[in-house]
Amino acid sequence: MDGSYLIGGQRRTSAQTFQGIEAATGQALPGDFAVTTPEDLALACTLAEQAFDHFRETAPETRATFLETIATALEKRSEAIVARAMLESGLPQGRLNGELGRTTGQLRLFASVVREGDWAGVVIDKALPERAPLPRPDLRSRQIPVGPVAVFGASNFPLAFSVAGGDTASALAAGCPVVVKAHPAHPGTSLLVGQAIAEAVEQCSLPSGTFSLIQEPGYAMGSALVAHPAIKAVGFTGSRSGGLALMAVAAARAEPIPVYAEMSSINPVVLLPAALAARAPELGRAYVASLSLFAGQFCTNPGILIAQTGPDLDRFLAAACEALNAVPPQVMLTPGIASAYDRGIASLTENEGVQVLAAGADGTATCGGARLLVTDGNDFLADPSLTHEVFGPSSLIVRVRDTAQIAQILESLQGQLTATLHLDEADYPLAASLLPILERKAGRILANGWPTGVEVSRSMVHGGPFPATSDPRTTSVGAMAIHRFLRPVCYQAIPDAILPPALKASNPQNLPRREFD
């Protein structure tokens, strides 16, 4: 691995370097990576701007083939990519093989989306020259790409939410060049993936500025990237503090731009009475399996669970505690994340209204120990700090006095990525009364499942009201993610000869369209 970064597909180096860190040990990995210079960052943005007008008008088949070419290039490098990602993230091989499959699957999904053409949103109001009292001109509209997009790699998904992840795939599908800022914990993984994209750009004869990859050991460069006037939108997955910082930079620009940030969520799970009575031990074990999966480092981790006090909850707690006591410490993504997890757990355990119910073995400087905590509904409602996300293998159980307090707890929550109801048929009336609350609070509502699993599909919504995301109208996963990077334009009485292909009367790209007389 040569340690370069990629500006318009070209490998570049600089005098300043840094090293990757092995997640399991906290020690530096062999090999140096060049830190992108400010001049090269600006060049990447300029090249993206220069590539935009060509790339945005490529035929749907061209972009679809490009996305599929990236997927194939990643598969050819899969062994090296997964091996490096294991070192830099501490995630096991099986998980990363699955994540690589999800990454290539996303790319191929968006290839299908581009070919289908609904994203173009073509609408035609035919001219009505004889209409009284005023004639109507010919009106045609379509969705066009917004411009170059800055994408930030995520710590918890080094492949599926990073260099070739959903933000990049949807932006490229829309026709937007992309400048990716690699996550500082994944320099080697990011470079290998970036090289695959650069290879696909060349194979498909696209402008070199269609893709660039910048690297640094920290986070300062992100502000400069978002502030560059060539950048027209941002895709980010990470902490609330990081997302808010980028939003502030974007809002302060002479031309403010949207930041599509997926940030913070505690993903409430509610056990309704009949379901809890019917299968308390089973639910307890499944709950622990979900909250501790891959050290709980999912944005959809079930951070709180709400259930009514009583014998059925006691049976649930007994099974959950037994299961959690057996959970060993797990490697966390970075030593910094492990340290932040420890601080979050300490803050909860020092709270007078919170008790520790169960604890796996203690963690280390790089590993997180599982924790199960409990509080009462009144204490939860009185202390907003209990709604703060603790990123790692822990969860807080909220014991409520009655079903009315379940609704009260849900109403008190901020925006969430997910909300889950475990219910049986006898619970349907109560569930129906809670559903309007959950619709206002979450982007995805589940029944009889666990939130730690996001299907990449056409109907998936991975978003939600603030602070889960910066814009509740959007999703960062699934086919609808493409709409973040498009905007509508109307063409009034433009001669057919100079209309873009999407709007010509002959419809040469065979795009679906809605026509009105």
Find how far residue 91's CA is from the centre of its chain.
Answer: 18
- CA-to-CA distance for 2 and 6, rounded, in angstroms? 11
Give the Cα separation of 436 and 14 in Å (integer). Answer: 55
Catalytic residue among 45, 176, 299, 367: 299
* 226, HSE (Cβ side, Cα atoms, 13 Å): 28
| Whole-angstrom distance, CA of residue 135 vs CA of residue 492 | 13
Joined tokens for residue 324? 């959690």
For residues 472 and 463, the answer to whether their CB atoms sit within 8 Å is: yes
DSSP output for 251-267: HHSSS---EEEE-----
DSSP secondary structure string for all residues of 30-73:
SS-EEPPPHHHHHHHHHHHHHHHHHHHTS-HHHHHHHHHHHHHH
Q: Which amino acid is at 360?
A: G
* Run of H or E including 158: none
What's the rounded Cα separation, in Å, for the pair 486 and 120?
Answer: 9
Q: Which residues are CB-neighbours of 57 under 8 A, at least 6 positions away? A: 175, 500, 501
Asked if 262 is an active-site residue, the reply is yes
- What's the CA gap between 315 and 276, in Å, rounded? 9
Task: For residue 396, give the 3-state DSSP assignment.
Answer: strand
Residue 45 is a catalytic residue? no
Question: Whole-angstrom Cα distance, residue 484 to residue 150?
Answer: 13
Q: Which residues pair with 447 in a beta bridge?
A: 421
Write down the catalytic residue from 262, 321, 411, 439. 262
- In single-letter form, the type of residue at position 48 comes to A
Catalytic residues, by residue number, are 262, 299
